[in-house]
Amino acid sequence: MALTLEVKNTEGKKVGSVDLPADIFDAQTNVPLIHQVVTAQLAAARQGTQKAKNRGETSGSGKKPFKQKGTGRARQGSIRAPLQRGGGAAHAVRPRSYFQRTPKKMIAAALRGVLSDRQRNDRIHVLDSISSAPSTKAAIAAVRQFSERKNLLVVVSRTEDLAWRSLRNADDLHLLVPDQLNAYDILKSDDIVFSESAIKDFLAGPRKVAKAVARESEVNA
């Protein structure tokens, strides 16, 4: 079973159609699963480099600030204690990793769920070509013909250099390539606009691209 989505041009006229597989765009939306995947993604984006000094790392003498008895004050053993001004922090924050292990099948299921939700609400659109010339104004007008909602996600192919250059500086939309699609960015977006090339690349699946590795002599040349 496949779903059919109209392909429109920059003038809003239908110029074709795309068949969407039901196993991706008409799947069950598992809200707890999506929440877990999105939470893990946001956690992984945290740097985890925050740090506070404990009493062993602060500067200062190890001398007792005043004698133990006879002052009427609470006993103190060091000016670096957390109770002292300029002392170390109690239970100081340490650098840590916020990574949460998320199986690839869970990530894929969450992506299918959010795509299916947007498709069932008619929030996915396909444009045959976003831009034929490097023009931000024309490109924004082309993708904005589908929706005036605030948050718009535009997906273009890696080979569409003109579309990428036209939209990369637009501050009222988010730009991705097909292999960067994720549940969080889709959830944040009210509508998704695919270029026809991008939707075909997404349906074709990821491709393995050989990475070129430069020799040390070439780098230093």
pLDDT at 206: 66
Tell me the pTM.
Answer: 0.78
What pLDDT score does 208 carry? 45
Spatial strand order of the sheet with 152-155 comes to 14-21, 2-8, 124-127, 191-195, 152-155, 174-176
Per-residue model confidence (pLDDT) at position 195: 92
What DSSP string runs through 136-197?
A: HHHHHHHHHTS---S-EEEE--TT-HHHHHHHTT-TTSEEE-GGG--HHHHHH-SEEEEEHH
DSSP character at residue 202: H
One digit per residue, pLDDT tens: the chain, 221 residues? 468 888 998 888 888 899 999 999 999 999 999 999 999 999 999 999 999 999 999 998 888 999 999 999 999 999 999 988 889 999 999 999 999 999 999 999 999 999 999 999 999 999 988 877 888 898 999 999 988 888 999 999 998 889 998 998 888 899 999 999 999 999 999 999 999 999 999 998 765 444 444 445 444 54
pLDDT for position 147: 86
The set of residues, in sequence order, having a beta carbon less than 8 Å from that of 205 and lying 6+ positions away, is none
Distance CA 114, CA 118 (A): 6
Distance CA 79, CA 221 (A): 56
pLDDT of residue 205: 78
